[in-house]
Chains A and B, each alone.
Chain A
Amino acid sequence: MLSEIPPIPSQNDARPSVQIDGVSKSFSGVTALEPVSLKIRKGEFLTLLGPSGCGKTTLLNLIAGFLEADSGELFINSELVTQVPPHQREIGIVFQNYALFPHMSVAQNVAYGLRTRRVPKAEIAERVRETLALVKLEDFADRRPRQLSGGQQQRVALARALVIRPRVLLLDEPFSALDRNLRTAMQVELKEIQSRLGLTTVFVTHDQSEALSMSDRIAVMSRGRIRQIGSPTEIYDCPQNHFVSTFVGDANLFSATLVETDGKKVSLNVGETRLPLTTYQDELPAAGPVTLFVRPEQCRLSAAGQDGAIPATVALSVYQGSYAEMHLDCPTAEGGRVMLRVPASEALPVGTAVSIALPEQGPAIYAKEEAAA
């Protein structure tokens, strides 16, 4: 199956598939989306990731045309579509609850977008059959949506969106109604179809693991703003601010004081401990109280009292099979706790005094006040 998949279209294609220029939206005076600018490459799988109320669904509805932007312009394949109504945008959508038309059969649902385009009957039949085959539902054409399982309903919704050969595919939390195993299977399947068709896709989710596993790029959003945009690796390894660091992946945060900065080399105090670090950040906060961020897997446990390591005490050890989660009481940590994972055989008893050693590269430093964002 994989050998049939053509290569993903060049990521350097000069023309963006979707271009968003300073688009904003507020609802009766409450800002849902600050002016946002974004270019989505042809064939790219872009995820809008954020907690509920962050503006990701608003942005999706603006791209689809269900909402009218207060400001800014929107282009699809270089065509200005800001004022174009949704039915002329040639966009495919899969909703969270699928919104399959309950009064139509599976085949009629899939054929709907072709019938509105007055495609000849014979071609409709052919394309419906083809698309149902693509989502492996050939044998369900005459069923009603309510006779299908959640996973099957989602395939129908996908087929219905794909059959019109949309310029952009929008996915609004499509997996949230599925149970865990089915979800993973559908993610793989969707990703495979998407990259085989080279389909520009905007995917809205609040689930970071979905975002990390499926996306070419992720735009992390909060409070109506894009807080960081980048590949899953960039987002996970190099979060640029406090919000992104805690929203994606696990984070250990320490209260620290930034003493001096020299390019990307910094020196800071965590409690009594002086730490020299090299960060990946382009922008660093001013000297003074800051938050030091480090991923659990970058922390190492070492003996108590070690030089250049942060003192802590084992508070709880949670056995997880292949590894154990060690929760440590640490007076300099924000929230008083630090978590790190060790091989299950190396778990330490509760009450053991330890110290946490940080790597010289990897941690990041964020301005304090961002904690609220």
Chain B
Amino acid sequence: MKKSTLDHVLDWSGRILLTLILGFVLLPFFVVLIASFNDSAILSFPPKSWSLRWYANVFEYRDFGAGLVNSLKIAGIGASIAIVAGAGFAYVMDRYDFALKGLLNGVLMSPLIIPNFTIGLGLLILSTSASLPRTIWLVIAVHVIIVLPFVVRSVYVSLQNFERRYEQAAESLGASPLHVLVTITLPLLVPGLVSGALFAAILSFNEFTASLFVVNQRTQTLPVAMYNYVREYADPTLAAVSVIYVLVVAVLLLIVHKFFRLEKVLNVE
């Protein structure tokens, strides 16, 4: 059947609209990308001359390097703790019925409605009054609390979609419940666990508000270091950091994709 003129108009206007929306989504990144190559010492747009010196500055400015190491450490350790704890909670929520299940669910999900700065402030007050040293573990604790709901949800959804017949088949073949968990359930849940851990790591890597309350000079994360930098200098170094930042996360996603296929991990297959 031949398309009418109206169909063509709708077809094309649809495409244009989609392109505009996608462009709008990516606009901030492109602005920053271009600004990062600006030779001028002032964050201005569009640039008049080009340079890579801000990238060099990123690597010379020590706080960024230290912040990146801290952020990676916190994201790595925090996501690992969160995935183990979250998977445990999700498993309990999926498999068992108990009196306070609703309450547990509420507590686990509460970081979604409690603002990040409240969580940061709370732990700051707590650690000060208990005279706890402000080590990196305090930052990790804050991050675990913040990412836990996402991890629990992610693993819980995988468990809900899990085909129980696999476990029953294994049981009928003589496998004890623990053996079933180790040889059947866990291996088949790997995509869900990886997606949970990945979400946790990225959220933690991007987290700023709560971190601001609980870090000190030694434990500051990359976002906090960036914030501190921009308070003192207004040059395009920050734009260069941002670009590197995006590249790091993209590489992380690519690695996951290579081993697990991202569509499967993100449950969008």
Contact = CB atoms under 8 A, between A and B. Distances in A.
Interface residues of A, number: 26
Contacts of A116: 170, 173-176, 179
A290 to B, nearest CB: 45
Contacts of B174: 87-88, 90, 113, 116-117, 164
A92 interface: yes
A26 interface: no
B81 interface: no
A92 B188 CA distance: 22
Contacts of A85: 171, 177
A308 interface: no
A95 B169 contact: yes
Given A99-B165, A99-B166, A91 B172 contact: yes
A113 B175 CA distance: 7
A18 B180 CA distance: 26
Nearest to A100: B169
Contact of B176 (A87, A91, A113): A87
A116 B176 CA distance: 8
A341 B171 CA distance: 49
A66 to B, nearest CB: 5
B69 interface: no
Contact of B163 (A64, A65, A99, A164): A99
Contacts of B170: 101, 112, 116
A112 B175 CA distance: 9
Nearest to B187: A103
A87 B177 CA distance: 8
B135 interface: no
Interface string A64-94: 1110000000000000000001111111110
A89 B172 contact: yes
Contacts of A103: 187-188
B190 to A, nearest CB: 9
Contacts of B187: 103
Interface string B148-169: 0000000000000001011011
B184 interface: yes
A65 B165 CA distance: 13
A206 interface: no
A78 B175 CA distance: 23
B167 to A, nearest CB: 9
A87 B172 contact: yes
Contacts of A321: none
5 closest A-B pairs by CB? A113-B173, A99-B165, A116-B174, A86-B171, A99-B169
Interface of A: 64-66, 85-93, 95, 97, 99, 101-103, 112-113, 116-117, 160-161, 164, 170
